[in-house]
Amino acid sequence: MARIAGRLASLAGTKRRSSREAALASPPDWIEPQLCKLVERAPSGDGWVHEVKFDGYRMAARIDHGDVQLLTRSGLDWTEKYPETAEALAKLPVTSAYIDGELCGVGADGVTSFALMQVAGDTGTAALVYFAFDLMALDGAPIARLPLLQRKAKLAGILKKPPAGVAYSEHNAGSGEAMREAACKLGLEGVVSKQIDSQYSPGNRGIWVKSKCLNRAKFVIVGWTDPEGSCSSIGALLLGYYEDGKLKYAGRVGTGFSEKTLRMVHGKLTPLAIDTMPLSTAPPRKSRFGGTLSLSKVHWVKPTLVAEVTYLTWTDDGLLRHTVFVGLREDKPAKDVRRELPERTA
């Protein structure tokens, strides 16, 4: 796998280790990330702390004697995509570490934006910031079993003077719902609330919960319609999700695209065109909240690409309302896309 070489030993002032010591200090090759459960309201109480929910790519940083790997939530190596971020992480004062975080595009107002993330990916990584929020291994010590606040304290220690492009994710105690409301006023996506005494639990959903300002989710692109009026390339994307092994229809999204984005998405979809509808059941030709859909004019595609959209709500017949396109999600395998509904909280 691709790695970025750095001179971490001289930066950290460490002495050369024996090969045995070096092997012991190496972090795990990959750790499945801990996940979040979606809830309507953020929890409160002494057992919780709350962090800003960032709008980017979930990314682990694996640092091993100056070499850095950037690993996606599914374990893909994206180091070559973001070399400047890897080079910045190589400057941290550690021999080895395994960090959990989010790689984001950040606007002039300090708000993270997935749209900026994609623009930065096209033009270079200068506008990107890696927000580190957890630490699972440090200098040969597996610390994932420590309580959250102890892990974060160690992470804060190595990020006292972070290099440009790297930041520590602060947390707040108190009312999670008050923090969520404040986050919404600032134009943020929401908050993530975490139990302070919990160990890092790969794959778990529940120890961490997320509450959002907008309904937002990922869907499989199953086709597109031709443009009308001033639009070009694409009129709308047809969306779906998996349930019990079947690909079900979720609705359409036809807003939120720039001309550049339309051309980019169209270019990715065209090679995926197929003659057979990939959905288990055909979409309705008419719906209460949308125009008529002519199935004979739909361009079906292999269910490979994943789109993220915001939406107002789901209709009683299981379709999305008032959708807006956010971006493509290359870090999410299409086969893992499920319908995500927030759990009601007291």
Strands 205-212 and 299-300: unpaired
> Residue 332: which of 76, 40, 37 has the closest Cα?
76
Top-tier CATH class for 8-212: alpha beta
Alpha-carbon Rg for the chain in angstroms:
22
Q: Which residues pair with 195 in a beta bridge?
A: 48
Strands 128-138 and 166-168: parallel
Helix (H, G, I), strand (E, B) or coil at 39: strand
Question: Could you tell me the CA-to-CA distances from 176 to 184, 258, 321 in Å, in that order?
Answer: 12, 35, 28
Helix (H, G, I), strand (E, B) or coil at 185: helix
Q: Which residue has the tokens 């595009």?
A: 105
Measure the CA–CA gap between 247 and 245, rounded to whole angstroms.
Answer: 7
pLDDT recorded at residue 7: 29
pLDDT recorded at residue 30: 96
Q: pLDDT averaged over consecutive 10-residue blocks of the chain (346 residues)?
A: 32 40 76 95 94 95 97 96 96 97 90 80 68 97 96 98 96 95 90 97 94 92 87 89 97 92 94 96 77 86 97 88 93 94 66
pTM over 0.85, yes/no: no
pLDDT recorded at residue 19: 46
> Residue 125: which of 157, 75, 93, 166 has the closest Cα?
166
Measure the CA–CA gap between 219 and 249, rounded to whole angstroms.
Answer: 10
Q: Which amino acid belongs to residue 346?
A: A
The listed CATH number (3.65.10.10, 2.40.50.140, 2.40.30.20, 3.40.50.300) that belongs to domain 215-336: 2.40.50.140
Outline where DSSP puts E strands in 89-204.
96-106, 112-113, 128-138, 141-142, 166-168, 190-195
pLDDT recorded at residue 2: 35
pLDDT recorded at residue 23: 47
> Residue 101: which of 146, 49, 151, 56 has the closest Cα?
56
Q: Are the CB atoms for 315 and 247 separated by under 8 Å?
A: no
Backbone angles phi, psi at 105, to 5 degrees: -85, 135
Q: Where in the chain is CATH 2.40.50.140?
A: 215-336
pLDDT recorded at residue 181: 92
Q: Nearest 10 degrees: CA dihedral of 77, 80, 82, 88?
A: 90
Q: Are the CB atoms for 36 and 166 separated by under 8 Å?
A: no
CA 169 to chain centre: 15
Measure the CA–CA gap between 314 and 300, rounded to whole angstroms.
Answer: 23
Cite the active site residues.
53
Element housing 221 (H / E): strand 215-225
Q: Considering Cα of 202, then 205, then 206, then 212, what sign does the dihedral take?
A: positive
Q: Nearest 10 degrees: CA dihedral of 310, 314, 315, 318?
A: 110
Helix (H, G, I), strand (E, B) or coil at 93: coil
The tokens for 172 are 């707040």
pLDDT recorded at residue 266: 95
pLDDT recorded at residue 17: 45
Q: Where in the chain is CATH 3.30.470.30?
A: 8-212
The DSSP letter of residue 193 is: E
Which residues does 23 contact at the CB level (< 8 Å), separation at least 6?
A: none
pLDDT recorded at residue 292: 77
